[in-house]
Structure 1
């Protein structure tokens, strides 16, 4: 049965979530994002995690639009199945297809990728093993279980097995010292994460790290500070 709130608009949901975050964290909501001065923003691909949908990014996509990104340069991919019943490699091929589609539609040589939770692993596999790295200017990992999570022992689905600490999949993914080439990489995570266990498993070697004291894994995508930081790093001028 659908929740009585199923027909609430995304903007209304965003206002509700930000209000709840302000109560839980004791922080005021972040100010509205200001349009950037860049003449043409790099397209952004958003990649969700296990049991999520593209709707998980509604607050973040809204912030990017407020910051000046045209709607057609923002795309949240829908991965299927989203419940971990297929290996992460299968999701990575879907990420590749979505990335190439976004590049083709926008005419962009490179895109930016914002990936959450398992989506960070799917994106990394595409970048590292399927040749996607040269197509990515900046990669933002949000609470990705890069070194596994003990919570993955709760289920035996293929993707969950791959996300267990010291799994064969993760050992292979982490075997290279510097897989990023000229892609700028960022790792955003919360020490209070109870889904990525231990929480510092979300740290990513070679990435610029930022920690946010957000009280729950899923709230990372709606936390004002995380949203502002994500927009900020993708709006920065290219490094010289």
Structure 2
């Protein structure tokens, strides 16, 4: 479990003075009136990432809660060791988790949070598959007693597909046993949720790749999925629609934060922009990639296991050129837990993280300046694809907290619109193979700029320009 460092006692007292007993929250369209709890203390919040993802995706969300005075020690982002769902939930599959295993992990993490904080209940906030685990825990793991609020962003509550006879053993089948059981009516009104937990879903109006009527994103182009953009909604919950957002932005965007904060507290946040700290303390975990037994050459089997023995160097870089501005700020070999840090820096200083480990490319990860402290700056070592080994350099623009939509987003990579990015917010990265020797290279996305260097691929190096938003 990744936990942020404690706030000062003064900050905590300020928060408790700010929170007052919340008024009843009017939830238009809900089957029954629901009210926010009296916030004599800020409830612990446990954030649950999605399929194949990591706790690191919640970084900006945690910063927004902190910027509104939420105590850092009451914000928890968990890492599922094997975050990918099985192809068939009933059949063991190396490197993947069943729905039951996913729920058991969440239950154990909630127990840790309750013990650490002394709280009686937590708020659960999940993205995509994380919402499946939350629903399963509440109804089948005793979570109805330990959870006050559940927020599900982009969770495919009625499936990514709902096709009788098609992959019904999969956790994401709307006609399969897992979702059919979760969606069974909870009362005479046919509600798919029930109290005492208060429920909210957040969905896109049209731009969620996993809530589409056509099977394009599941390899079934032209075939109906029997799912619509409203698939993430649940009858009886507060169902919030945010125009234009993509699948991940249902949880990680500023708009999703605003809706979540309002749902938990009964009022709008004081700020959605992230408030910078005077000094930034960073840390995280170094992870690698497993080998997919069904596709051993892919080298792209996500897990959140520590990459023990990996070497890490961190440098401050020039914002305009991406060149290093001095010697390494940190140079370390990570231990069995994969943890790195602490590293003290100043807000707004861009950084280069260099990860190297046997069996991996030397991975140069460039980030724009960090406005606040975080202990979930997780770094993944990459492998070079066979098709890239003859390139002069390999540079990838990556956006972990959202997708790339050419119709919606302004983005440039090495001065041009990234090639090969399809319409419809369906991919989160774009790759170029620049020539011209070692030089500066810039990625821009909706106002954020990340500048790095084009390291030689012949030396076994790859470059990642990571967008924070």
**TM-score (normalised: structure 2):** 0.40
Gaps of 5+ in 2: 1-14, 20-39, 86-95, 188-192, 213-227, 268-469
Which of 185, 196, 200 matches 2:199?
185
**How many Å separate the matches in 2 of 1:117 and 1:223?**
14
> Using the alignment, how far apart are the partners of 2:97 and 2:167 within structure 1?
11
Aligned to 1:41: 42
SS at match of 1:52: coil
1:199 positional shift: 2.2
Report the secondary structure of 1:115's partner residue: strand
**Conservation of the 8 A alpha-carbon contact between 2:167 and 2:173:** no
Residues 79-127 of structure 1 show CA distances to partners (whole Å, capped at 9, x for unaligned) of 1211222211110111101111111100001111111101101111011
State yes or no: 1:108 paired with 2:137. no
Q: Secondary structure at the match of 1:93?
A: helix
SS of the aligned residue for 2:184 comes to coil
Match of 2:262 in 1: 232
Measure the CA separation in 1 of the matches of 2:98 and 2:132: 11
Does residue 174 of structure 1 match 2:183?
yes
1:94 correspondence with 2:98: no
> Helix, strand or coil for the counterpart of 2:200?
strand
- Give the whole-Å Cα distance in 1 for the aligned partners of 2:238 and 2:253: 19
Q: Which residue of 1 aligns with 2:51?
A: 50
Q: Which whole-Å deviations, capped at 9, do the CAs of 1:17-58 have from their partners, x for residues lacking one?
A: xxxxxxxxxxxxxxxxxx682252010000111011011111
Q: Report if the CA contact (8 A) 2:204-2:242 is conserved.
A: yes
- Distance between the aligned counterparts of 2:251 and 2:175, measured in 1? 26
| Aligned mates of 1:92, 1:230 — CA distance in 2 | 22
Q: Is the 8 A contact 1:187 1:203 kept in 2?
A: yes
Q: Whose strand proportion is higher, 1 or 2?
A: 2
- In structure 2, the partner of 1:9 is none
Q: 2:142 aligns with which of 112, 124, 131?
A: 131
CA contact (8 A) 1:146 1:170 kept: yes
Alpha-carbon shift at residue 156 of structure 1 (Å) = 7.0
What's 2:240 paired with?
Answer: 210
Distance 1:110 1:133, change over 3 A: same
Matches within 5 A, 1:64-79: 64-79=65-80
Shift of 1:146: 0.6
Q: CA deviation at 1:231?
A: 1.4
Q: Whole-Å Cα distance in 2 between the matches of residues 113 and 103 of structure 1?
A: 12
How far 1:151 moved relative to its partner?
A: 9.8
Q: Which blocks of at least 5 consecutive residues in structure 1 are unaligned?
A: 1-34
Summarize deviations over 1:133-167 as a string: whole Å, max 9, x none: 11111111111111101399xx9797xx1211211
Q: Is contact 1:186-1:207 (8 Å) kept? A: yes
The match for 1:22 is: none
- Give a deviation string over 1:182-228, Cα, whole Å, max 9, x none: 11111111122112333211001210111001342122233221111
Q: Specify the SS of the correspondent of 1:139.
A: strand
Cα distance in 1 for partners of 2:120, 2:266 equals: 18
| SS state at 2:199 partner | strand
List, as ranges, runs of 4+ consecutive aligned residues in structure 1 with deviation greater than 4 Å.
155-158
1:200 equivalent in alignment to 2:230: yes
- 2:437 alignment counterpart: none
* Number of residues of Structure 1 aligned to a counterpart in Structure 2: 200
CA distance in 2 between counterparts of 1:131 and 1:40 reads 23
Provide the rounded CA distance (Å) in 2 between the counterparts of 1:234 and 1:180.
Answer: 17
Question: Aligned with 2:231: secondary structure?
Answer: helix
Larger Rg: 2
Name the structure with the higher helix share: 1
In structure 2, distance between residues paired with 1:212 and 1:146: 17
